Amino acid sequence: MSESTLSESQQDYLKIILDLMHVRRVARIKEIAERKGVGMPSVIEAVRKLAMEGLVCYTAREFIELTEAGQQRANQLINRHTFLTRFLTDILHLPVGLAETEGCALEHHLNGLTLERLILLYQFLAHCPRHEHHLKDDFSHCMTILNGSPDSCNQCFTTETLPHSHTDLNVIHCLLTDLPEDQTARVIMLPPDSLIRQQVIELGLLPGVAIEVARQSNGQSPCIITIQGYRIELTAEQARLIEVSVARPDPNPLDKPQD
């Protein structure tokens, strides 16, 4: 059985068995059932299937042990969870309890390539020698500002006046409220205000999403945009805090053929 064909429940069983083996060298059906929060018949059936796949050693009325292959798989799963929890706490600054819960959800679904890229991102942010000040620490500083720290940073993307400076000569950055109706654009940054940012995220408006302005707000009526035909209403306050990019007009357009 490959890693991709292990169900979430089977992965959990392997981790539980390994954890119990660390305490008593073997696991018992009753102990597994208590950890998993299920009945003993469910555990017996799950262990039987894992035994058929060569991941555990089990016969009726005996203790359960992981095979060498089972130990390797269980260790991989536990180490994956440990890394993801560390990533969520160290990089995203989530509370430990939330990071544990989110790590459990992520570990079951990440493709191997995605996990590898997250590892590379973690290493880059935390340890890249080419940066005098590590980006991880800079982002941590931004998080302290978002969490109400009295400290401030004029260069922090969470407090700097919008729109931001950039180096891409092919696009123009502006605020959503600066766009005319029927203009297409791409979302660059969400509002610096935490509450408004969360509201916008709930609406499905995320960085990288292409939008079209259907109607601008006049201060009283909402701003209406469309994403692939789906209409979203934004308050005037939300719209004026969203940074977008539009393609820069060609300064030397080719002469159009005459009719």
Domains of the chain, residue spans: 3-73, 171-247
What predicted TM-score, i.e. pTM, was given to this entire model?
A: 0.72
What are the angstrom distances between the C-alpha of 183 and each of 141, 210, 237?
36, 11, 19
Are both 3-73 and 171-247 of the same fold? Answer: no
Question: C-alpha distances in angstroms, 2 versus 21, 39, 68, 87, 239?
Answer: 23, 27, 15, 25, 47
CB 231 within 8 A of CB 211: no
Cα angle for residues 107, 206, 248 (degrees, 5° grid): 135
CA–centroid distance for 148 within its chain? 23
Residue with tokens 């042990």: 65
β partners of residue 223: 234
Alpha carbons 146 and 192: distance in angstroms, whole number = 8
Give the model confidence (pLDDT) of 69-128 as tens digits. 999 999 889 989 999 999 999 888 899 999 999 999 898 888 888 999 999 888 888 777
Question: Among 1.10.10.10, 2.30.22.10, 3.30.2320.50, 2.30.30.90, what is the CATH number of 171-247?
Answer: 2.30.30.90
Tens digit of pLDDT at every position of the chain (259 positions): 444 578 999 999 999 999 999 888 889 999 999 999 999 999 999 999 999 999 999 876 678 999 999 999 998 899 899 999 999 998 888 999 999 999 998 988 888 889 999 998 888 887 776 765 667 777 777 777 666 555 555 445 445 566 666 667 888 989 999 999 999 999 988 887 878 888 999 998 888 899 999 999 887 899 999 998 889 999 999 999 999 999 988 766 555 555 4
Burial (CB count within 10 angstroms: exposed 0-12, middle 13-18, buried 19+), residue 80: buried
Largest CA distance in the chain: 89
Domain 3-73 top-level CATH class:
mainly alpha
Residue type, 25: R
Alpha-helical segments (H) within 25-158: 29-36, 40-52, 68-90, 96-107, 112-127, 135-146
C-alpha distance across the termini of the chain, in Å: 67
CB 11 within 8 A of CB 77: yes
Is the separation of the CB atoms in 159 and 192 below 8 Å? yes
Sign of the Cα pseudo-torsion (33, 51, 64, 3, in order): negative
